[in-house]
Amino acid sequence: MSADIAVDEARLWQSLMDMGEVGALPHGGCCRAALSVEDQAGRDLFVRWCREAGCTIAVDQVGNIYARRAGRDAARPAVATGSHLDTQPHGGKFDGIYGVLAGLEVVRALNDANVGTEAPIDVIVWTNEEGVRFSPPLAGSSAFAGVAEVANIHAAVTLDGTTVRQDLESTGYLGKERPGERKLDCFVEAHIEQGPILEAEGKTIGIVTQIQGIRWLKVTVTGMDSHAGTTPMNRRRDALLGAAEMVTTLNRIAREQDEWARLTNGRFEVEPNSGATIPGRVVFNCDLRHPDATTLEALDGRMQAAMRTIAGRGGLEIDVQRVIDKPPVHFAGELVDTVRDAARRCGYASMDMLSGAGHDAMNVARVAPTGMIFVPCKDGLSHNEAESATPAHLAAGARTLLHTLVARARRVS
């Protein structure tokens, strides 16, 4: 127990508010697209704060930032935490940023208490988690885990027409370290829940045991453009009508499955999208999630079969491409236990839960024991300027993180 090490709730909150001024939007949110000038300013501010807290800074070839608080044994793999500083176009102040600044608050709290650890502690900023300005999302952690090539990330073209390599150079974040070269003892990511469950259950800390599996299906439904006024209803091959039946049916299948299944049609585009023309084509995305790999596979099969039946009935052609397929990630039991123990010792009401969203932790789990700590956010809202969380909840997450990291890094003074 490290009851003498005090997380400073006001300081953590002030840092979040100060970072929120960088790329601030009119309704309380932020726009810091990865490697934009706003993201550069956010990174520079973080680096300055870390240097003031006595950390050394390293940057790798894809711009991941590692702020290290030295341990007594420099040879030991670092106990790591962190998240991302980039945001959605109308993002909030907390998604990602909280995980980075909670890590910084742990360092500051250890400094204040003059407490040392055996292993170094790294606070990591992963590059381009959101994937808004260029692909892939979770780019930095993907390179770190070896699931994306550095050369491919460098060659990616941003919405501004630059390459990522050019932006890494121009923003000053093209480092020499090879991603993944650095060994980690573990990685613990603190994050707002981005969902409504903790709030609804009245819990302060979510012990994340796994991230659910996710599949994206790109569905193309093809009928025949024809004239809205002259084509009898029974002679139509209306791609929108078929796609609308698919959307309602897929939602029903997900709801009938169990409380864990999630089905979202977020992207949905109609052609020719003209008032007086029966749509000849609809392209839409199915985002399908479930924590159990077998159930996910079964849902995928049932949904594809249902869509083909609807297409056949409407005289429509259908093409289904699987564009994302990420199996469920189960976090390391030892680390989950450590997080659970830390929350319990701090006296917080907690619950085990799964993450509905993807996170950098998903990638890091491939190369190091990994866990996550969730705190409640208002109305479960995220990817929205109105995203909000209380100073008390945020500090509770940081305290849980502190005790987890100190348990792994071993207190020596």
Site string for its own copies, 278-307 (x = CB under 8 A): xx-----x-x-x------------------
Contact (Cβ atoms closer than 8 angstroms) between residue 374 and residue 191: yes
Q: Helix, strand, coil % (nearest 5) of the chain?
A: 35, 25, 40
**295 contact partners, CB below 8 Å, separation of at least 6:** 257, 258, 260, 261
User: Is residue 75 part of the contact set for its own copies (CB under 8 A)?
Assistant: no
Residue 84 token pair: 């991302």
User: Is residue 243 part of the contact set for its own copies (CB under 8 A)?
Assistant: yes
Site string for its own copies, 181-220 (x = CB under 8 A): ------------xxxxx--------------x-x-x----
User: Is residue 276 part of the contact set for its own copies (CB under 8 A)?
Assistant: yes
Beta strands in 14-165 (DSSP E): 56-59, 65-69, 78-83, 121-125
Residue 216 token pair: 């994206």
**Between 137 and 391, whose beta carbon lies closer to its own copies?**
137
Would you give the end-to-end CA distance of the chain in angstroms? Answer: 13
In the list 19, 153, 263, 318, the residue contacting its own copies (rule: CB under 8 A) is 263
In the list 61, 355, 363, 370, the residue contacting its own copies (rule: CB under 8 A) is 355
Stretch that binds its own copies, among 44-52, 148-156, 167-175, 234-242 (CB under 8 A): 234-242
**391 contact partners, CB below 8 Å, separation of at least 6:** 9, 10, 12, 13
User: Is residue 126 part of the contact set for its own copies (CB under 8 A)?
Assistant: no
In the list 112, 332, 381, 388, the residue contacting its own copies (rule: CB under 8 A) is 381
Stretch that binds its own copies, among 14-22, 49-57, 265-273, 392-400 (CB under 8 A): 265-273
Question: How far, in whole angstroms, is CA 359 from its chain's centroid?
Answer: 3
Residue with tokens 């006595």: 54
User: Is residue 357 part of the contact set for its own copies (CB under 8 A)?
Assistant: yes
Contact (Cβ atoms closer than 8 angstroms) between residue 92 and residue 84: no
**259 contact partners, CB below 8 Å, separation of at least 6:** none
Residue with tokens 């974040």: 173
Stretch that binds its own copies, among 31-39, 164-172, 254-262, 335-343 (CB under 8 A): 254-262
Contacts with its own copies, residue ranges (CB under 8 A): 193-197, 212, 214, 216, 225-235, 238, 240-241, 243-245, 247-248, 251, 254-255, 259, 261-270, 273-279, 285, 287, 289, 355-358, 380-384
